[in-house]
């Protein structure tokens, strides 16, 4: 006599735990945010001269500001002229990185020239100055 053996099949539900994946993604996002390079403003607002036909910088650069009374600001702090070259040299990751000088309209030409020379002395090849865009008629 043949006996039917009906085994009851038991299916287990499959549970995929996504918590470790979310944790890894969160750590990656935080790492990318912390390691990103942001352009630090020099910490002072200057009234830049208006010119037309300027070039727009599209890469990482260092910002240095000179106020109307010829004070120099770098990374939000006032610095003396003799500290410009060492600080720029320390902050620049390559000689091809641009140094942009934001000078106020009322800044003396001599102060601008001295800061420009200190930027060149730091080994930065690309020293530029920032201007505001003039409205063309």
> What is the tally of structural domains in the chain?
1
**pTM of the predicted structure, to 2 decimals:** 0.55
Residues 6+ apart with CB under 8 A from 7: none
Residue 26 lies in a domain: no
Is 24 part of any domain? no
Whether the CB-CB separation of 59 and 102 falls below 8 Å is answered with no
Could you tell me the CATH number of the domain that includes residue 63? 3.30.420.270
- Is 128 exposed, middle or buried (CB count within 10 Å of its CB: 0-12, 13-18, 19+)? middle
Closest C-alpha to 104, from 69, 62, 53: 69
Q: Could you tell me if residue 71 is inside a domain?
A: yes
Query: Does residue 6 form part of some domain?
Result: no
Residue 37 lies in a domain: no
The pLDDT value given to residue 88: 85
Contacts of 28 (CB under 8 A, 6+ apart): none
DSSP string across 72-94: EEETTEEE-GGGHHHHHHHH-SS
Does 84 fall in a domain?
Answer: yes
Q: Which domain holds residue 79?
A: 50-133
The answer to whether residue 17 sits within a structural domain is no
81 domain residue, yes or no: yes
pLDDT in tens, the chain (137 residues): 555 555 667 777 888 888 999 999 999 999 888 877 665 556 666 666 655 555 554 457 788 888 888 899 888 888 898 888 888 888 877 767 888 888 888 888 888 899 989 888 888 888 888 776 655 44
């Amino acid at each position: 006599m043949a006996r039917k053996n009906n085994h009851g099949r038991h299916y287990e539900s499959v549970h995929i735990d996504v918590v470790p994946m979310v944790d890894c993604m969160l750590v990656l996002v935080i790492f990318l945010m912390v390691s990103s390079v942001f352009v630090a403003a020099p910490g002072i607002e200057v009234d830049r001269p208006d010119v037309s036909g300027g070039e727009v910088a599209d890469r990482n650069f260092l910002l240095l500001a000179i106020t109307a009374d010829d004070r120099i600001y770098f990374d939000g702090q006032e610095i003396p002229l003799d500290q410009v070259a060492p600080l720029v040299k320390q902050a620049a990751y390559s000689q091809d990185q641009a140094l942009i000088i934001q000078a106020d309209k009322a800044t003396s030409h001599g102060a601008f020239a001295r800061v420009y020379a200190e930027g060149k002395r730091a080994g930065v090849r690309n020293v530029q100055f920032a201007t505001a865009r003039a409205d063309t008629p």
